[in-house]
Amino acid sequence: MKNQPSVRSVTEPAREIKVWKEADVVVVGGGPGGIGSAIAAARTGAKTVLIERYGYLGGIATGGLVNIIPNLADISGKQRIYGLTAEMLSRLDRRGGTTYPPKKDWGSADKDVVDYYHEANMDWFYIRKDTDTGQRRLIYTAVVDPEILKDEFNDMVLETGVDLLLHSWGTRVIMDGNKVKGVFFESKSGRQAILGKVIIDATGDGDLFVSAGADFDNECDNRRRTAWLAQVLWITNVNLKKFGDFKASQPEKYRELNQELAKLDGYPMFFKGLLKNQPNTVWYHGMQPQPERTDAMDVEQLSRIDIRARKRALITYEFMKKHMPGFEDSFIMLTAPQLGTQGGRRITGEYTLTEKDLESDEVFEDTIAVLANNDYGEISVKHPALCIPYRCLVPIKVDGLLVAGRSFSCADTINETFNIIPHCLTYGQAAGTAAALAVKAGVQPRKVDYKTLQDNLRKQGVNLPDTKQVKKGSAPSKVPGRAKEYYYQDYTVAGQGDPRHEPRI
Ligand X SMILES: Cc1cc2nc3c(=O)[nH]c(=O)nc-3n(C[C@H](O)[C@H](O)[C@H](O)COP(=O)(O)OP(=O)(O)OC[C@H]3O[C@@H](n4cnc5c(N)ncnc54)[C@H](O)[C@@H]3O)c2cc1C
Residues binding ligand X (CB under 6 A): 28-34, 51-54, 59-61, 64, 66, 68-70, 169-170, 202-204, 207, 230, 285, 287, 340-342, 405-406, 419-421, 424
Question: Contact at 8 Å (CB) between 161 and 39?
Answer: no
Helix or strand (DSSP H, E) at 164: strand 163-165
Give the shortest CB-148-to-ligand X separation in angstroms: 17
Give the shortest CB-33-to-ligand X separation in angstroms: 3
Phi and psi for 254 in degrees, rounded to 5?
-60, -45
Q: Residue 182 or 340: which CB sits closer to ligand X?
A: 340
Nearest Cα residue to 115 out of 107, 104, 123: 123
Q: Residue 52 or 123: which CB sits closer to ligand X?
A: 52
Q: Residue 61 or 438: which CB sits closer to ligand X?
A: 61
CB burial of residue 30 (10 Å; 0-12, 13-18, 19+):
buried
Q: Residue 101 or 326: which CB sits closer to ligand X?
A: 101
**Cβ-proximal residues to 144 (8 Å cutoff; 6+ apart), any chain:** 61, 67, 69, 88, 89, 92, 97, 98, 275
Q: Residue 51 or 371: which CB sits closer to ligand X?
A: 51
C-alpha triplet 125, 128, 131: angle, nearest 5°: 165
Give the shortest CB-168-to-ligand X separation in angstroms: 6
Q: Residue 59 or 326: which CB sits closer to ligand X?
A: 59
Q: What share of the chain is helix, strand, coil (3-state, %, to 5)?
A: 35, 20, 45
Strands (E), 390-495: 401-403
Give the shortest CB-185-to-ligand X separation in angstroms: 7
Phi/psi class of residue 442: alpha, beta or left (left: φ > 0; alpha: ψ in -120 to 50)? left
Q: Residue 50 or 363: which CB sits closer to ligand X?
A: 50
Length of the chain: 505
Question: How far is residue 452 CA from its own chain's centroid?
Answer: 28
Q: What's the CA gap between 303 and 296, in Å, rounded?
A: 10
- Determine how β-strand 18-28 pairs with β-strand 48-51: parallel
Q: Residue 257 or 425: which CB sits closer to ligand X?
A: 425
Question: Contact at 8 Å (CB) between 223 and 482?
Answer: no
Give the shortest CB-110-to-ligand X separation in angstroms: 24
Give the shortest CB-23-to-ligand X separation in angstroms: 15
Question: Contact at 8 Å (CB) between 358 and 84?
Answer: no
Give the shortest CB-344-to-ligand X separation in angstroms: 8
**Cβ-proximal residues to 206 (8 Å cutoff; 6+ apart), any chain:** 214, 216, 344, 345, 346, 347, 403, 407
Task: Tell me which residue has its CB nearest to ligand X.
Answer: 31
Q: Residue 164 or 464: which CB sits closer to ligand X?
A: 164
Q: Residue 68 or 220: which CB sits closer to ligand X?
A: 68
Maximal C-alpha separation, the chain: 70
Q: What's the CA gap between 139 and 79, in Å, rounded?
A: 10
Three-state DSSP at 161 gives coil
